[in-house]
Structure 1
Amino acid sequence: MVFPSLEQPRDTYHLLDRFSFPTEDGFHDSIAVSSKSGDYIVAAYSLIVDAIFLQVWVALILLAIVLTNRFGRREKNSFLAEVYYARESIFEVFMVSAYRIFTDPRVKPIWIGLMWLVVALLGTALQKAMSVIITPSAHTGNGAPVSFDRIYIPLPPDDPTLQIVTFELEAPAYFRALGTSQVANESTTANILVDQITLPGNGPNDSPRLRIDFGYNISSLEFGLQNYQELKLFMEGSCYTEYGWIAGSANEDGIWTDVYNLWGDESKSFSVNSNDAQEPRLYVERRSIDPEPSGNNSFVFIPSTLGRKSFTNSTDPWYKTSNALDERGRATILNGKPVLVCWQKDWWSYKDNNATIAKVDELPGLETFAKGLGGVFRNLLINPKVADTATHLGSLALKSATTSLGITIDGKGSSMLSDLQRILLVSYISTQNLLLDTTLYPNDTRAVPNFIDKENRDVADFIVYGSEISTLSIRFLIVIPALAIGMLVVVLLLEYWGRESIRNFQYQLSKNFVAHYKATHSAAENGEAVPQNADDNNGASPAAVESKPGATTTTGPAAATDGPEPDPVRR
């Protein structure tokens, strides 16, 4: 997709309106906000995703506690109680597991500690990765629904004065497309099919003719439509060099002139000469002012390159030079240049059905489109876009003109094919941006009426793009908070369901610590070696018990005194 180089004004689109955002995967239920607000929302949802993953982790720990307490040996599970106390931080579980694997008293069997070590490490990595992977799904693009009141399309007037004004209003869109074409990447240029073929010639000395076939297609996604995913606009055409229309050439006082009888008709005589402008020029003539009902329109490109100078020699049909050089070592571009006779046809395709631009209402399923945007496209594309592009570009239509130094060009680096490719690329970009450009006209339209019927709001069924717009997925905005609430409920239910199991784990943890403390204290008083494990169970590390809320520790002489076992510790 190619976007206009001009940023959309703020009043050309709506924010906080629900709409269908077109993507390659289909239409997404979306809402548009400012880019700044979008950044804040995405950042907040990143924290929610992080919290969801943590709740999943806590739920797994609680489930493990409940299942182990019901089907395992309770006295072996004090290590799992430590995992429970560290549940609010996955990395803390990793640290506890590492401590109990490599520091006495060690967890037994060792594979339990290793399992939690690996699981916690993977969980920590996944928690960080999930925010990076999932959160971008919230952002679907940079588009917003267009403001109907800002859509403007000049209505071609009958007044010649207003016709000139209309041309002036339309020209900036072509110049924006020209600017974009200068930085177009290969993926953009690859969308335009151009094929040059050599044919038997009717030129001087039976020199061969050249035929150039071209075409491109643009999807509803590239137009920014909110509906009709399968709708496509196709354009195809062809040009060929024609020497037979040259009626004659003349040289008066060093000024070369070529005269053509267009379509072989003497009444349609057209002449160019070396004084047309310093740089090369291209002229466009339509065969008929009225568009053809069939959608097949003919036109001709007439080059004015003769008499210009070149520091390099060329054999191209439009830039062929003489062998003689002037005093500055420059060759002269010869007269007798062929015109390029062209035709172009545009049509719509929708669900295997085709129709011309003027008859889009004949396509099944496009009745609403035909009443709204179909009329807009008919107005903008009824004339051949390739010819209109060259006309509006004027002196910038030819690639050679943009690199010329006065009357001197690089003949070898110029060609008829590269000139046509330049026009086709600008035509492609301009066509793709037809709807986006309707909001970029100046507020002062100088009395040129608007083609848009103010009662027909169906024409606003498209979106505009801008760097100040952030498009967010409605589904993402709803699902993520719902998941967060759902996981919180699951955790609360598991804590309620496993409250007895949790108390048993807390009791076993306190009991093991007391036993370990007694054994250590007794050995110290008797001068014996301090045992590293008070029993054959998973003795808890004193640090873990002391640092965890809800765990009761016993210190001082009372700890060494035999007495009744402490009551289960309640959280």
Structure 2
Amino acid sequence: MADIYTPPKDSAYLLSTGFQMPHENGDKWAMAFDSYTGTILTAGLSVVITILFLCLWNLISFFGMFFDGNKTRRRYVALVTLWNSNDPWFACKELLYYAVQCLKESKASGDFWYGLGFGLAAFVVFAGGIVSSIMVPSALLIGNVAPVRPSSVFWPQEPDDTVKSLQVFGLLAPAAMRSLGSVEAAQVTLRDRVYVEESPKYSGANDEEPVKGIKYNYTLSGVDMGLRWGSELSLDVTGSCITEYGWADKQANNSDNPGDVYHLWNIDSRDQTVFVPISEDVILDAPSASFRPHPDGAAQLLKDSNVSYAVMIYAAHRSSISKSTDPWYATEKRKEPAAKSQYDADYWMKRHRPFLSCWQQDKWRYGSHSVKSVDELKKIPGIKIKEVLLEILEAAFGNSPMIVTLGNASGVSALRSQTTSPNGVIDAQNCWMVDDMERLILASFVASRSIFTDATMFPETRYPNLVTGGDKKPRSGAGDFVVSSPEIQTFSLNGITALLVLLVFLVLANAATSWLLSFFYRNQNASEVGNLVDVDRWTRFRVFSAVHLFRCLFEGSEDKVEERGWSCEDTVPTVENGDDEVKLVGGCCKKRCMGHLSKTLSKAAAAQREDGKRDSDQKDNNVVSYEEAGEEDREREAMLPGSK
């Protein structure tokens, strides 16, 4: 439905309403939005996916904290890096760098694999978040259709007199023009769905009467038509045409009204006799064509939907600026050049151009049930398509093949040679019978597929509406189809729901981890030395935070912990007695020194230390030597669980 040349009006469909979108694998739960709202929704889905992957990384970091290896300083460097890496890209970069550093020592193979594994996991989360935020919203955008508004559906009732027949013809003509316009705009796309072959290309005794023909077939499903539950419905169309020279009665002659006489299917009756005039006023027009079903066409439709029809070409003595040997556009030299208003054309089409003898069979199927005609669809047991929609199909396909209806409704626009002629003169060498028929066959495919879309595009009229009931309201099921428009964006509600459920799950999982940490913080007992391992397993989640590690800089270097104005329960130090000054210290003479932190106590804090509230160890204001730092590290490592 994507190549319909003219979209329906905005009032013809419903937006922001859940509906079952027709799909070849079964209807899908969906919702349609206008293009602006759809763009906002796409951006919102990208944000949701970004948050989802951040939550996923938080869970990975949480579980990664339990792999402490031998509880060495080297492993704890990785744990600190992991726990303070809320961004997976930062974690990827730092952990892979950590793994490279560990690779230099064979004793650190466990730490190497830890850094490499979680570094690669971080990269997968980082890349997955970016790719998913782009791909997933696009995958959730499953079409550009919306459910129809039932009150906008109209289809003319079957005419019962000549006046109503003329009215219906006028109502259907715009739909035919839209179908032809779609062919001109999207012919390459349509050729993938319609098989057309020139056959036979040539046969006959001489070049004066070349025999040419065309074979075609295409398949449509109820999904193509936009029908809900349409995946079970299918229409297979097969047809063929061939030039028929035997219908021309070359013996007939009427000097009062010159022209060519044809007897369709060689039936010598007035109803099946066609006259192609060649009077001076008529041949000023470009060639045209008309279509007529076989006189037994109605019976053929009911029997097996294999209907014969004729394509009648009105081209005799029409002017051309070039010569041609095509069956419809074969030319000969004019006795005298045409007038200047007709470009002094030197050629005109020969008389007795062959009509086309054609047949077309429509095979309807619903599920495993095949029917002889479209009228029998409603008799299939268990069919889900509503009766009112089946009646529209009967009205559209139940009288003649679609190509006949379309060809007659399109009038003079049926042939491309007519549409490219400004004043009745054509360029015959660029006009081909096969091209004209191919264009009409493609347009028939479009017209068949857009039957229900066309039902929403009729102008306001007082003509009786097939869709309404006795109460003048739409009958049940009148809105059980969708229409297409480039202004519509359709999203899968199943996909959006699954995405939101996954997000809620990950958010709740993150909340559960936070609750677990809070629970163990409240229930740990630091005074029980024998419980040191259990305390360490949960305490590390808070101790390893960047703020807390910075706070630890101000604790004493002895076994006794001194808070020094910064409680272990606070993330920000108190400043009642003045804050301590922090300095960046360098000059340790290492080539790749990453710098050191030192602290200078405020006057109030220094006074408190002198009063005995704190130890005034001057080493706190200077960078310790390498030997002192190593001794202190060994002492701290000896205190870690599992070091004994």
From 302, 327, 331, the counterpart of 1:317 = 327
Higher relative contact order (CA 8 A, sep 6+): 1
- In structure 2, relative to structure 1, the CA distance for the partners of 1:31 and 1:167 (3 Å cut) is same
Q: If you compute each CA radius of gyration, which structure gives the higher value, 1 or 2?
A: 2
Aligned to 2:90, the other structure's residue is in SS state: helix
Pairing 1:559–2:620 present: yes
Alignment pair present for 1:45 and 2:45: yes
Which residue, 427, 438, 445 being the options, matches 1:410? 427
- Distance (whole Å) between structure 1 residues aligned to residue 336 and residue 359 of structure 2: 39
Select 1:273's aligned residue among 274, 277, 283: 277
1:99/1:541 Cα in 2 relative to 1: closer, same or farther (>3 Å)?
farther
For 1:453 and 1:308, locate their aligned partners in 2 and report how far apart those are by CA, in whole Å: 47
Corresponding residue to 1:373 among 384, 389, 397? 389
Aligned partner letter, 1:357: V
1:549 maps to what in 2? none
Name the structure 1 match of 2:15.
15
Which residue is 1:285 aligned to?
Answer: 292
The superposition leaves residues 132-175 of structure 1 with CA deviations (integer Å, 9 ceiling, x where unpaired) of 12222322211111111111001132343332222111111111
Q: CA deviation at 1:227?
A: 0.6
Once the 2 structures are TM-superposed, how far is the Cα of residue 37 of structure 1 from its aligned partner?
Answer: 2.0
Distance 1:555 1:492, change over 3 A: farther
Q: Rate the CA distance shift 1:77–1:396 in 2: closer, same or farther, 3 A.
A: same
The alpha-carbon deviation at position 472 of structure 1 amounts to 1.7
Distance 1:299 1:495, change over 3 A: same
- 2:499 aligned with 1:480, yes or no? yes
Q: Please tell me whether the aligned partners of residues 333 and 346 of structure 2 are also in contact (alpha carbons under 8 angstroms).
A: no
Residues 462-517 of structure 1: per-residue CA shift (max 9 Å, x gap)? 11112232222111222222211211222233344465425236557949985999
What is residue 523 of structure 1 aligned with on the other side?
none
State how 1:200-239 maps to structure 2 within 5 Å.
Answer: 207=209, 209-239=211-241
Structure 2 CA distance for aligned equivalents of residues 147 and 418 of structure 1: 38
**CA distance in 1: counterparts of 2:76 and 2:324, whole angstroms:** 90
Contact preservation (8 Å) 2:201, 2:213: yes
In 1, the alpha carbon distance for the partners of 2:5 and 2:554 equals 76
Per-residue deviation, residues 225-259 of structure 1 (Å, max 9, x unmatched):
12131321122222222222212365869x85111
Change (3 A) 1:34 1:323: closer
Cα 1:203–1:513 change in 2 (3 A) is: same
Q: Residues 324 and 143 (structure 1 numbering): CA distance in 2 closer, same or farther, change over 3 Å?
A: closer
1:314 is matched by which residue type in structure 2?
A: S
Counterpart AA for 2:320: S
User: Are positions 1:448 and 2:467 aligned together?
Assistant: no
Identical positions, percent: 23
Query: Which residue of the partner structure matches residue 537 of structure 1?
Result: none
Q: Which residue of the partner structure matches residue 82 of structure 1?
A: 80
Relative to structure 1, the CA distance from residue 56 to residue 458 in structure 2 (aligned partners, 3 Å threshold; closer, same or farther) is same
Evaluate the alpha carbon distance shift between residue 22 and residue 542 of structure 1 in structure 2; reply closer, same or farther with a 3 A threshold.
farther
For the structure 1 residues 74 and 25, does the alpha-carbon distance in structure 2 shift closer, same or farther, using more than 3 Å as the test?
farther
What is the 5 A alignment of 1:162-177?
A: 162-177=164-179
Deviates more, 1:389-398 or 1:239-248: 239-248
Deviations 1:265-291 (A, max 9, x none): 142322112343511111223333872
1:338 matched residue in structure 2: 354
- Match in the other structure for 2:476: 457
Match status 1:401 vs 2:399: no
CA contact (8 A) 2:23 2:231 kept: no
Shift, 1:392, TM fit? 0.9
Preserved contact between residue 297 and residue 307 of structure 2 (Cα < 8 Å): no
Question: Which residue of the other structure, out of 165, 169, 191, is the alignment partner of 2:193?
Answer: 191
Aligned to 1:490: 509
Cα distance in 2 between the residues matched to 1:401 and 1:25 = 43
CA deviation map 1:382-405 (0-9, x unaligned): 122111111011111112112224
Q: Matches of 1:555 and 1:314 in 2, distance apart?
A: 112
Conserved 8 A contact 1:157-1:448: no
Q: Distance in 2 between matches of 1:88 and 1:481?
A: 22
Cα separation, partners in 2 of 1:116 and 1:201, compared to 1, 3 Å = closer
CA contact (8 A) 2:212 2:243 kept: yes
CA drift at 1:53: 0.7
Aligned residue pair count: 539
Q: Could you tell me which residue of structure 1 aligns to residue 577 of structure 2?
A: none
Structure 1 unaligned runs (5+)?
Answer: 519-526, 535-539, 544-553
Structure 2 letter corresponding to 1:169: L
- Which deviates more, 375-384 or 275-284? 275-284
SS in 1 for 2:429: coil
Q: Distance in 2 between matches of 1:145 and 1:215?
A: 30
| Contact 1:257/1:272, CA 8 A, preserved across alignment | yes
Structure 1 residues 67 and 512, CA, compared in 2 at 3 Å: closer, same or farther?
farther
RMSD: 3.9
Counterpart Cα distance in 2 of 1:203 and 1:56: 79
The answer to whether structure 1 residue 504 and structure 2 residue 504 are counterparts is no
User: Structure 1's 190 and 118: CA in aligned 2 closer, same or farther, altered over 3 A?
Assistant: closer
The answer on whether the counterparts of 1:22 and 1:28 sit within 8 Å (CA) in structure 2 is yes
- Other structure's SS at 2:180 match: helix
- Residues 284/170 of structure 1: CA separation in 2 closer, same or farther (3 Å cut): same
Change in Cα spacing, 1:216 to 1:103, as seen in structure 2 (3 Å) is closer
In 1, Cα distance between equivalents of 2:70 and 2:101: 25
Q: Helix, strand or coil for the counterpart of 2:298?
A: coil
| Residue deviations 1:507-559 (CA, integer Å, cap 9, x gap) | 579499859998xxxxxxxx99667999xxxxx9868xxxxxxxxxx998463
| 227-236 or 85-94, which deviates more | 85-94
Deviation at 1:67, TM superposition (A): 3.3
Distance 1:113 1:288, change over 3 A: same
Secondary structure at 1:209 match in 2: coil
Alignment match, 2:143: 141
* Segments of 4+ moved more than 6 angstroms: 101-104, 199-206, 515-518, 531-534, 540-543, 560-565
Q: Quick one: which amino acid aligns to residue 492 of structure 1?
A: A
> What TM-score comes out, normalization by structure 1 length?
0.83
Q: Note if 1:308 corresponds to 2:312.
A: no
Q: Distance in 2 between matches of 1:67 and 1:467?
A: 53
Contact 1:143 1:471 in 2 (8 A): yes
User: 2:152 aligned with 1:154, yes or no?
Assistant: no
Matched residues in 2 for 1:556 and 1:93: separation? Answer: 37
Q: Which amino acid aligns with 1:413?
A: N
In structure 2, what residue type is equivalent to 1:350? Answer: Y
Q: TM-score, normalised by structure 2?
A: 0.74
C-alpha contact (below 8 Å) 2:12/2:152 kept by paired residues = yes
Question: Secondary structure at 2:22's aligned position in 1?
Answer: strand
Q: Match of 1:546?
A: none
Contact map agreement 1:325 1:332 (CA 8 A) in 2: no
Counterpart CA distance in 1 for 2:254 and 2:295 is: 31
Letter in 2 for 1:241: T
Separation (CA, whole Å) in 2 of partners of 1:533 and 1:190: 66
1:57-76, aligned counterparts within 5 Å? 57-68=57-68, 72-73=70-71, 75-76=73-74
